[in-house]
Structure 1
Amino acid sequence: MVTRPSRQATMQLHDGRRLAWSEWGSVDGIPVLFCTGAGMSSWLGFGASALSNLGLRLIAIDRPGLGLSDPHPHKTLSSWADDMREFFAAQSLDNVLAVGFSQGAPFAFAASAQGGVKALAIVSGQDELTYPGLLSLLHPDVKGMIAAIQQDPVGFEQHFSQMATADGLWQLIIGMSAECDRILYESDTFSQSFRRALQEGFSQGAQGYARDLVNALGSWPMKLEEITIPVDIWYGGQDTSTVHSPDFGATLALRLPNVSRTFEPNEGGSILWTKSEQILSKLKSHLSHA
């Protein structure tokens, strides 16, 4: 289900910051940018057994301030998109596909909006929760966080970075997960990889995660209505996370011009791992239709 990275590497960005990433699959495969979940390093991948057959190369990035990537002093979704544009050019990556899981969804959308991505899959993704049609559907705790960020983003980030820990985030994820997801997440091999990714994600402290949270829960700078590449969105009906899409991507699908929504009523938020091959196969199929 999960395997350790086949390769890990770093590069220096033009401003001197280090950007780190992990890879699975063939070095000559079609690149798939993987935007990981909240607070994680790039250690936890998905679909490793399907990558070779599909001719894909999964590339998971340590977002700035997480894992081995240096922090960005003013990280935003737009600065992340700039980093990815530089990364694609430096690594000579063409026909890039992208996957955004959970909190990685807004980062995947941001990278796709700047033009370097050919097709995108959003899996158990966090929606743009400030969108007017979603506010009434949100859990009160999430509404409270969004209000606090809107009122004082700097203060929220400072407060959150002082209290958040890798173990605390693990407990939060397990606590808000459905039983079908907990069975997977708490299994020996998976939990070891998941918790390692969180420990590495917090290795520089909690500031990187706190900044991601502010960026993801605030208003997004890109207009989803203007993203014209194919977008596959995948949700499981058993997904009980309060920070994913509150209507399982139904409103999100209405905002995207070129979208396919798959709703699996018996799957949970872990659909990224239980349906890896189907997600990757469908994503790759958009290249042949381009």
Structure 2
Amino acid sequence: MPSVPPIPATDWLPDDSETETLALPDGRRLAYATYGDTDGYPVLFCHGTPGSHVAARLLATPARERDVHLIAPDRPGIGNSKDASVTLEDWPDDATHLLSHLDVDEAGAIGFSGGGPFALACHRLPEIRRIALLGGSGPPSIGSTGRVQQFVGALARHAPWALGRLFRLQRWFALRRDPSYAVGFVAEETPETDALAADEVARIVRADMLTSMTRGPSGIIREQRLLSQPWPFALEDVSVPVTVFQGQNDANVAPSTGKALAQRLPDASLERVDSDHLGTLTTAGDDALAAIQRRTRV
């Protein structure tokens, strides 16, 4: 497992000093953080659902070592980003405003978990030359999720008030329990690494969960509903190269999903990862950055 930047033991929830904000044309506030090498090759990081920019901290060290400028926005309703009814079809517009703000004219994109569809949606942006998915969700037509995620999607569609209560309860427990509580939602295995590294990963995962609901669960509920419905674009229309990294012990996104995505995307390859959902990010994140660099620098 790559090293990760430490979060102090008492700093479970990063303050706003970690993020910057961009005023979008419609007046909304978009929060984002950057990691790695600020002079390096830009890569847009699309966090999971639930999730936030904090998850990108897990790739900060490999990004710096590979000269990658990792750009991690909080989508609407997440962290310090103002909530709005932004869909999968709308998200690329927010992303292109951010890339333009940072003077980026060429970039790759990484989508982790529920961020996979948002990364793929950016295929229509001229700036995006390559995409990597790390345990990325697929459209409902390929049966992408486990039973828990199916249940959450059903609540988002039919009883969002109940899902809101569930997320608030989870956040309440996460604030009061050991960081391993949060890890249990995204991992099924005990990391085979030293205790210090595992502890730092757990702290980041906990901070990621807490940040995702800084201003309530409305943004997460909207995204869960979006991801449980047909996407506004076809996989066959994704014109940029995609590398799909899929954990073979992933209980959140079924291994068959990665295989189906790689088969249906026009220019895609499948990399099987011997890990669970979180492990796909922590163990294959460096490979994802390398895959983007290989294809964008030829």
SS in 2 for 1:233: strand
CA deviation string 1:221-259 (max 9, x = no partner): 121101111100001212222xx1451411111111110
The one-letter code matched in structure 1 to 2:236 is E
CA RMSD of aligned residues (A): 2.7
Are positions 1:247 and 2:256 aligned together?
Answer: yes
Are positions 1:117 and 2:125 aligned together?
Answer: no
Q: What is the CA–CA distance in structure 2 between the aligned matches of 1:262 and 1:63, rounded to whole Å?
A: 27
Q: Match for 1:54 among 38, 55, 66?
A: 66
Q: What is the CA–CA distance in structure 2 between the aligned matches of 1:161 and 1:59, rounded to whole Å?
A: 28
- 2:109 is matched with 98
- 1:227 is matched with 238
- 1:65 is matched with 77
Displacement of 1:139 = 4.3
Q: What is the CA–CA distance in structure 1 between the aligned matches of 2:264 and 2:196, rounded to whole Å?
A: 31
- 2:198 is matched with 187
Are positions 1:164 and 2:202 aligned together?
Answer: no
- 1:282 is matched with 291
Structure 1: where are the runs of 5+ without partners?
Answer: none
Q: 1:114 to 1:220 in 2, by over 3 A?
A: farther
SS in 2 for 1:78: coil
Are positions 1:218 and 2:233 aligned together?
Answer: no
Number of residues of Structure 1 aligned to a counterpart in Structure 2:
277
CA deviation string 1:176-233 (max 9, x = no partner): 6322459899932111111112111111011111111111221111211011111000
The one-letter code matched in structure 2 to 1:159 is A
- 1:268 is matched with 276
SS in 2 for 1:38: coil
Q: Match for 1:203 among 214, 221, 231?
A: 214
Please say if residues 97 and 117 of structure 1, whose CA atoms lie closer than 8 Å, have aligned partners that are also in contact.
Answer: yes
The one-letter code matched in structure 2 to 1:112 is H
Q: What is the CA–CA distance in structure 1 between the aligned matches of 2:21 and 2:147, rounded to whole Å?
A: 40
Are positions 1:81 and 2:92 aligned together?
Answer: yes
- 2:10 is matched with none
- 2:5 is matched with 3
Q: What is the CA–CA distance in structure 1 between the aligned matches of 2:110 and 2:235, rounded to whole Å?
A: 16
Q: What is the CA–CA distance in structure 2 between the aligned matches of 1:144 and 1:103, rounded to whole Å?
A: 15
Q: 1:8 to 1:285 in 2, by over 3 A?
A: same
Displacement of 1:79 = 1.7
Q: What is the CA–CA distance in structure 2 between the aligned matches of 1:92 and 1:48, rounded to whole Å?
A: 21
SS in 2 for 1:240: coil
Structure 2: where are the runs of 5+ without partners?
Answer: 7-13, 175-179
Displacement of 1:116 = 3.1
Q: Match for 1:20 among 24, 31, 35?
A: 31
TM norm structure 1 = 0.85
TM norm structure 2 = 0.83
Q: What is the CA–CA distance in structure 1 between the aligned matches of 2:235 and 2:47, rounded to whole Å?
A: 20
Bigger drift between 268-277 and 104-113 goes to 268-277
Percent identical among aligned pairs is 27
Q: What is the CA–CA distance in structure 1 between the aligned matches of 2:233 and 2:191, rounded to whole Å?
A: 31
Displacement of 1:267 = 2.2
Q: Match for 2:188 among 178, 184, 207?
A: 178
The one-letter code matched in structure 1 to 2:62 is A
Q: Match for 2:42 among 17, 31, 39?
A: 31
- 2:11 is matched with none
CA deviation string 1:58-84 (max 9, x = no partner): 011111101010001x22111211111
Q: 1:221 to 1:84 in 2, by over 3 A?
A: same
Q: What is the CA–CA distance in structure 1 between the aligned matches of 2:97 and 2:209, rounded to whole Å?
A: 26
Displacement of 1:274 = 1.5
The one-letter code matched in structure 1 to 2:281 is L
Displacement of 1:157 = 3.0
